Amino acid sequence: MRGLTGIDRRAGAVLRSTVARAPGGSRAARIAASALSPGFRVLVAAMIAVPSTRRAGLQAGAAGVGAAVAARLLRDRLGRPRPGSRQDGGFPSRHAAAATAIGRAIARRHPAAGALVLCAALVGMAGRVATAEHDPADILAGAALGLAAESALATLTPAG
Q: Report the pLDDT value the prediction gives residue 147, as an integer from 0 to 100.
A: 97
Average pLDDT for consecutive 10-residue bins of the chain (160 residues)? 81 94 95 93 97 95 97 91 84 96 96 96 96 94 97 84
Q: Is 11 exposed, middle or buried (CB count within 10 Å of its CB: 0-12, 13-18, 19+)?
A: middle
Cα separation, 106 vs 3, in Å, equals: 37
Cα separation, 68 vs 88, in Å, equals: 15
19-41 in b/e form (b: 16+ CB < 10 A) is beeeeeeeebbeebbeebbebbe
Cα separation, 116 vs 156, in Å, equals: 25
**Minimal CA–CA distance to 101: which of 153, 34, 48, 157?**
153
Residue count (the chain): 160
Single pTM value for the model? 0.92
What residues does each domain of the chain span? 2-156
DSSP annotation of 89: B
Cα separation, 78 vs 30, in Å, equals: 26
Q: Report the pLDDT value the prediction gives residue 160, as an integer from 0 to 100.
A: 61
* Partners of 89 in beta bridges: 81
Instruction: Give the class (CATH, top level) of 2-156.
Output: mainly alpha
**Minimal CA–CA distance to 74: which of 7, 131, 117, 137?**
137
